[in-house]
Amino acid sequence: MPRVLSSNLGYPRLGEQREWKKTLESYWSGKTDKETFQATMKELRLDHLRKQQQAGIDLIPVGDFSYYDHVLDTAVTFGLVPARFGYTGGEVTLEQYFGIARGTKDAAAGAMVKWFNTNYHYIVPELNGLTPQLTENRVLKLYLEAKKELGIEGKPVLVGPYTFLKLSRGYESNELAAWLDKLVPLYAQVIKELNEAGASWIQIDEPSLALDVSAEEWELVHQAYTKLNEASGTSNLIVQTYFEGVDGFGKLIDLPVQGIGLDFVYGLEQNLNSLDDWGFPEDKVIGVGLIDGRNIWRSNLEEKLGLINVIAQTVSRDRILLQPSCSLQLVPVTTKHETALEPVLRDALAFADEKLGELALLTRAANAGGAAVQEELEHSRKAVSSLASSAWRTAQEPHTDHSATRNVPFEERRSIHEQKWQLPVLPTTTIGSFPQTVEVRRARRLWRTGEWTQQQYEQFIENEIREWIDIQEELGIDVLVHGEFERTDMVEFFGEQLDGFAFTKNGWVQSYGSRCVKPPVIYGNVSFVQPMTVKETKFAQSLTSKPVKGMLTGPVTILNWSFVRDDIARSQVSYQIARAISDEILALEAAGIEMIQVDEPALREGLPLKRSKWQEYLEWAVGSFRLSTAAVKETTQIHTHMCYSEFHDIIDAIKAMDADVISIETSRSHGELISSFEVHGYDKGIGLGVYDIHSPRVPAKEEIVQLIERALRVLDPKLFWINPDCGLKTRQHPETVAALKLMVEAAHDIRRQLGQEVEVNA
């Protein structure tokens, strides 16, 4: 019988105990020299390959390992280094590489952007008239290393030229063809050298081909791959798509390559329908992405075997590769350390290593029949069904109503709030968090380890709150916050106190560089247990006559920054969270807190990759926010905070959220957003961040004044708030106070220009 093969697309860089992160940070701090750093990284890289080899994976990726980011790796491979880093050609040094990633004393780091709609960030290539050159064939070195050290005939992985350019900045859209003409010969040289070294398969990642691709772009892609195929010799090229189904399926399978990889998890319906409509070329291999590379749950292996059989009706088994839906870089490494989890939950999880085991098992079953692996299949079936039938997932009535609304429209609320709060024009506030100092982190650690009692910890938190209430009053800020000193993370804090969430010990994933996050696991029905923020907020309010905002994380952000159960629609999980947040808002309101901020920084980043799916998402995302906030009294003022990204795309949805005040992270792109308001307008309260909190730099007051003046050209001063562009958790105490002092002074200067009285603190 023709044999199905298994293939992996990429493996997590972090290591089981975050060894990768620790090695990086040790090198950056000067504790490890370059030679030791490179030797340690090599051992980690080889260990990751050994794991895949031992798991029985047939095609093991090489080149997916990175010192920082795979898109940055591609940029430096082709010498695309911004001029500010003083690069003059040749191989990019380690110092220059990390300079681009992290910045230097003389040059700002490259921008970071989300990798498609994941929570991983890549370094954005800056082209800006540069001339690409092949500086080194990095992936060839890694291919030869795997062959020499481990005897692994690896599958080199490259970010494809079309996707690389789509992720880059510094050129006009009509220059895409010219840039492909520059880059494709260099890609061809890389591929030619891999072929000469004996590479059998070369994986070229083109996830952008699963997005909106014009007919002209498809023609350019076809021309590019014609040239790459000519350079490949006896090597087989597989163009790998993921994260979505492919609209231009006919054009994709017509590319002159030997394999096409498709996502049969997130693009299942569309790709299956396309396979049925178009068939599949008899001279190509199909990469079947059937194991979820973005979530952490075991697969239903019987369903996956059924999918393989369906595809085998169109494509012969000797032309099928079984794969994850995308690189496993987006999931943690292994569940073996998660001994503290409930056994039923732990057994239902599959991190990267467990997913490799599923791939190998499915490959054996596809080749030898299910009877050959019946025991393993039965164990997996029981693990999946035990969680599905648990009390945690007792069926709830689906929520389908998107129409929850406040009982009074904004114009009426605005008048009520003006009378209630008596705030000055251009009121000043902050986004919520204040510096999480070494002392704050130490106190939390002592409490968690039991060295401090609950009383000691609470007293410490109260002292921090008292200090920062005093600071805010001294600075003359109009609406205060308690500082969030009790919170490690804006999602984790709430997840720890709601039913339906679990937390892993080692479930780390890379966010950017050495920055790792450990997303909560939403495994069951989410519900409110008891008030989560009332105590600290009420205490803060008792210290001042000025209003103190309650600070909550919104349902869509909690959803998007968690690993989410996959047995019901994400919209239903979002609505469950929304009801829990609504209960917390009502508890705050009952405690006398009637100015409440519900942050949704991840609302826009959760947008589907294809515009055709935006409306459905925005309906339930906005509906979730409104469900969480609609039950409050008309006297309660609801704030929210969002991170800026092409605000004009979703301005109608943001208006529909019906928040009384929205603050937006805009300091780095203030002009663009103001231009958007000039076109679209905005009729509710709004705070455009007037200085950048991501830098330790204290802005000049004149800069802040200019930003405010620009905004007031198109925004009503009676609706405009003054605030930093994000929370101040990562900043230091002195720079925070200095910057906020200037922010308040700038607001006072503008008030005087507007003929308003200014109350100056003694």
Does the pLDDT at position 388 exceed 90? Answer: yes
Q: Is residue 222 annotated as involved in ligand binding?
A: no
683 touches 708 (CB < 8 A): no
Cβ neighbors of 707 (< 8 A, separation 6 or more) are 667, 670, 688, 690, 691
Q: Is 392 annotated as a binding residue?
A: no
> Mean pLDDT, the chain, as a whole number?
93
Beta strands 509-512 and 515-517 are: antiparallel
- In this prediction, residue 489 carries a pLDDT of 85
Measured between alpha carbons, how far is 409 from 273 in angstroms, rounded to an integer? 45
Torsion-angle region of 57 (φ positive above 0: left; ψ -120 to 50: alpha; else: beta): beta
Q: What is the secondary structure of 523-562 as a DSSP string?
A: EEEEE--S-SSHHHHHHHHHT-SS-B-EEEE-HHHHHHTS
Task: Give the residue-averaged pLDDT of 91-98.
Answer: 96
Res 154: pLDDT = 98
- Within 8 A by CB and 6+ apart from 74, the residues are 125, 158, 159, 164
Is 121 one of the annotated binding-site residues?
A: no
The residue behind tokens 């039991």 is 450
- Cβ-contact 136, 77 below 8 angstroms: yes
Three-state DSSP class for residue 605 = coil
- Report CA-CA distances (Å) from 72 to 106, 121, 182, 288: 20, 11, 18, 28
Q: Do the annotations mark residue 155 as ligand-binding?
A: no
The predicted pLDDT at position 529 comes to 97
- Mention every residue, 6+ apart, whose C-beta is less than 8 A from residue 56: 6, 360, 363
Which range has the worst mean pLDDT, 3-7, 45-49, 197-201, 722-726?
Answer: 722-726
Q: Which residue has the tokens 């009426």?
A: 412
In this prediction, residues 223-249 reach a mean pLDDT of 98
Query: What is the band of 714 on the pLDDT scale with cuts at 50, 70, 90?
Result: confident
Q: Which tokens hold the place of 453?
A: 């009692």
- 431 labelled ligand-binding: yes
Say which residues have a Cβ less than 8 Å from residue 431's Cβ, sequence separation at least 6: 481, 597, 599, 641, 663, 723, 724, 725, 726, 727, 728
State the pLDDT confidence band at 59, using cuts at 50, 70 and 90.
very high
Task: Find, among 718, 9, 37, the residue nearest to 352 by Cα.
Answer: 9
**Residue 762 confidence (pLDDT):** 35
Phi, psi of 722 (to 5 degrees): -115, 125
Write the DSSP symbol of residue 701.
Answer: H
In this structure, what is the dihedral angle of CA atoms 749, 752, 754, 756, given to the nearest 10 degrees? 130
Q: Are 521 and 471 in contact (CB under 8 A)?
A: no
Task: Calculate mean pLDDT across residues 588-599.
Answer: 97
Q: What is the pLDDT of residue 157?
A: 98
Question: Where residue 192 falls among pLDDT bands split at 50, 70, 90?
Answer: very high
Which has the closest alpha carbon to 357: 324, 318, 332, 315?
324
516 is in an annotated binding site: yes
pLDDT tens-place string over residues 347-367: 999 999 999 999 999 999 999
Closest of 490, 520, 515, 485 to residue 502, by C-alpha: 520
Amino acid, single-letter form, for residue 304:
K
Q: Return the pLDDT at 698.
A: 84
pLDDT tier at 236 (50, 70, 90 boundaries)?
very high
- What whole-number distance in Å separates Cα of residue 80 and Cα of residue 77? 8
Domain regions of the chain by residue span = 5-14+46-391, 410-753
Beta strand pairing call for 637-643 and 515-517:
unpaired
| Phi, psi dihedral angles at 636 (to 5 degrees) | -80, 130
Which value, to the nearest 10 degrees, does the dihedral of the CA atoms of residues 640, 646, 651, 653 take? -70
636-674, pLDDT tens digit by residue? 999 999 875 566 778 889 899 999 999 887 655 555 666
Least trusted range by pLDDT, from 320-334, 476-490, 532-546, 747-761:
747-761
Q: Is the pLDDT of residue 22 over 50?
A: yes
What tokens appear for 230 in the block? 């000519």
Residues 6+ apart with CB under 8 A from 672: none
Q: What is the mean pLDDT of residues 740-751?
A: 95
Query: Rounded to 10 degrees, what is the CA torsion of 723, 110, 675, 637?
Result: -30
Q: Which residues pair with 548 in a beta bridge?
A: 480
* pLDDT of the residue at 673: 66
515 assigned ligand-binding residue: yes
Confirm whether residue 326 is marked as ligand binding: no
Q: Could you give the CA distance from residue 72 to residue 120 in angstroms, rounded to a whole number?
A: 13
- What pLDDT shows up at residue 229? 98
State yes or no: 201 annotated in a binding site.
no
Q: Which residue has the tokens 């191989």?
A: 91
Q: How confident is the model at residue 630 (pLDDT cuts 50, 70, 90)?
A: very high
Residue 480 CA: distances (Å) to CA of 247, 536, 553, 662: 50, 13, 17, 16
Q: Does 28 count as an annotated binding residue?
A: no
Q: In whole angstroms, give the CA distance from residue 616 to residue 621.
A: 9
Residue 19 assigned to a binding site: yes
Q: Mind telling me the catalytic residues? A: 694
Inter-CA distances, 399 with 575, 598, 631, 653, Å: 7, 21, 16, 20
Sheet containing strand 521-527, edge to edge, reads: 499-502, 521-527, 563-564
Q: Is 751 labelled a binding residue?
A: no
Asked if the model's pLDDT at residue 394 lies above 60, the reply is yes
Topology match between the domains 5-14+46-391 and 410-753: yes
CA distance 361 to 364: 5
pTM of the model: 0.92
The pLDDT of residue 726 is 84
Contacts of 402 (CB under 8 A, 6+ apart): 619, 620, 622, 623, 626
Q: Which amino acid is at 497?
A: Q
Q: According to CATH, what is the number of the domain 5-14+46-391?
A: 3.20.20.210
Is 381 known to sit in a ligand binding site? no
pLDDT tens digits for range 103-154: 888 888 898 888 999 999 999 999 998 999 999 999 999 999 999 999 999 9
Which class is 410-753 in CATH?
A: alpha beta
Structure-token pair, residue 475? 């600075």
Task: For the chain, give percent helix, strand, coil, nearest 5.
Answer: 45, 15, 40
> What pLDDT is recorded for position 113?
87
Q: Count the Cβ atoms, other than its own, within 10 Å of residue 542.
A: 12
Those residues whose C-beta lies under 8 Å from the C-beta of residue 22, and which sit 6 or more positions away, are: none
Q: Is 389 labeled as ligand-binding?
A: no
> Has residue 1 got a pLDDT over 80?
no
Cα–Cα nearest to 436, from 475, 479, 477, 487? 487
Tell me how crowded residue 248 is: count the other CB atoms within 10 A of its CB: 18
Question: 236-240 and 201-205: which strand pairing?
Answer: parallel
Nearest 5°: CA angle at 271, between 266 and 272? 110
